[in-house]
Amino acid sequence: MRYVTYMGTDAYTNIATDTWLLNNLNAKEPVFALWQNNNAIIVGQNQNTFGEVNQDFVDEHQIEVVRRVTGGGAVYHDLGNLNFTLFVPIESAANVDFKKFSEPVLRALHTLGIDAEASGRNDLLVNGKKISGVAQRYAKGYLMHHGTLLFDSNVDTMVRSLNVADEKFISKAAKSVRSRVGMIKDAAPKGLTLQDFWDAVQYELTDHGKDQEIVLTPQQKQEIIQLTADKFSTWDWNYGRSPEFNFKNHAKYDGGIIDVQVQAEGGTIRDINFTGDFLGLRDWREIKDQFIGLPFETAEIKTVFERNHEGRYFGNITDDELIKLFEA
């Protein structure tokens, strides 16, 4: 695969680059990027940032907080992990298989002698421990598949950043994370540095160095910088405000956590919102208008989910599970 080089380690710019490439690269064959962020929390598109981030700790340690355009949960980035993004031409979002698009990264890990495997809805494991979480977004005929590769990240900072936890629980939380999360460095050949790892993954993904870089033009870079300024570095995008709702419900399914909030007046839906760590392939807000004005009745709401089933707006959460949210 050919590859794109990102402009640095600023999280706001890198998340903007992901999105710009998804919408504008228009490559005829799969393309990848390897990149790193400064200390940052990357929040899933449908999450409530205030509920995911320990804001006092984040402010004190100048940790960047950025919302991405893919679903899933909040993740911690630092210069101890390597991030990857694949951009793949694909006809439809209807039958996307997460594991299929993890195969190039898995092959690269296997070449290094690292026995990694795909597991669950979006994880890569080594020795039973999670070393990567991935997420996807489909737009304009392309699938963006991106994720982290934990090489040697700071677990203590990860724990303190992601949750507002009482100090006495911090060490217990860090111990719990270490029991579930693995570092590639521990499973890699002795002496392998993160730069060695980066070079080896890039060598494998470029067909042993045969595939060349796609160099972004100054105009393209300027468009990314503008997108960063207009959207990805703004408070409105990364935190935002939520209106008040008079119906709320919460559920946890195999396909992820999902919350629904509805503002209904006179039995009619006036506003609706879905939050959670579900891995929708497309942004559910594309179909939001189809709910507005409907009677607040499950039969009516069900027709919207069924009509848009192939869009995979809520990932692997089924239509029946979605309807149960409205039966509380």
- Please indicate, yes or no, whether the overall pTM of this predicted structure exceeds 0.85: no
State how many domains the chain has: 2
Verify that 273 and 203 share a domain, yes or no: no
Could you give the residue ranges of the DSSP H alpha helices within 84-207?
A: 98-111, 155-162, 167-180, 184-187, 194-205
**Could you tell me where the beta strands, DSSP code E, fall in the chain?**
2-3, 31-35, 40-43, 64-67, 75-77, 81-89, 116-119, 123-126, 129-139, 142-150, 247-253, 256-265, 268-276
Verify that 267 and 146 share a domain, yes or no: no
Q: Of 177, 208, 238, at which residue does a domain stop?
A: 238
Q: Tell me what pLDDT residue 244 has.
A: 66
Verify that 62 and 180 share a domain, yes or no: yes
Verify that 169 and 276 share a domain, yes or no: no
Q: Are the C-beta atoms of 108 and 3 separated by less than 8 Å?
A: no
At residue 127, what are phi and psi to the nearest 5 degrees?
55, 40
Verify that 134 and 273 share a domain, yes or no: no
- Quickly count: other Cβ atoms within 10 Å of residue 50's Cβ: 11
Report the DSSP beta bridge partners of residue 191: none
Closest to 149 (Cα-Cα) out of 97, 95, 94, 204: 204
Assign residue 319 the CATH number of its domain.
Answer: 3.30.390.50
The Cα–Cα gap between 144 and 266 comes to 41
pLDDT in tens, the chain (328 residues): 999 999 999 999 999 999 999 999 999 999 999 999 999 999 999 988 888 899 889 999 999 999 999 998 899 999 999 999 999 998 777 766 667 777 888 888 898 889 888 887 678 899 899 998 889 999 989 999 999 999 999 989 998 998 744 554 556 666 666 668 889 999 998 999 999 999 999 999 999 999 999 999 999 999 999 999 999 999 999 998 555 678 999 999 999 999 999 998 888 999 999 999 999 999 999 999 999 999 988 999 999 999 999 999 999 999 999 999 998 6
Verify that 294 and 145 share a domain, yes or no: no
Q: Of 186, 216, 238, at which residue does a domain stop?
A: 238
3-state secondary structure of 53: coil
CA distances from residue 216 to 95, 211, 222, 325 in whole angstroms, order as listed: 31, 16, 10, 45
Assign residue 234 the CATH number of its domain.
Answer: 3.30.930.10
Q: Tell me what pLDDT residue 134 has.
A: 87
> Taking the C-alpha atoms of 190, 196, 199 and 202 in order, what is their torsion angle to the nearest 10 degrees?
40
Sign of CA dihedral 280, 281, 286, 292: negative
Domain, as residue range, for 172: 2-238
Verify that 16 and 150 share a domain, yes or no: yes
Report the DSSP beta bridge partners of residue 310: none
How many CA atoms lie within 13 Å of 107's alpha carbon, on the beta-carbon side? 12
Verify that 257 and 194 share a domain, yes or no: no
Verify that 194 and 278 share a domain, yes or no: no
Verify that 214 and 263 share a domain, yes or no: no
Q: Of 207, 238, 269, at which residue does a domain stop?
A: 238
First to last CA, the chain: 49
CA distances from residue 293 to 139, 188, 273, 322 in whole angstroms, order as listed: 27, 56, 14, 19
Verify that 267 and 319 share a domain, yes or no: yes
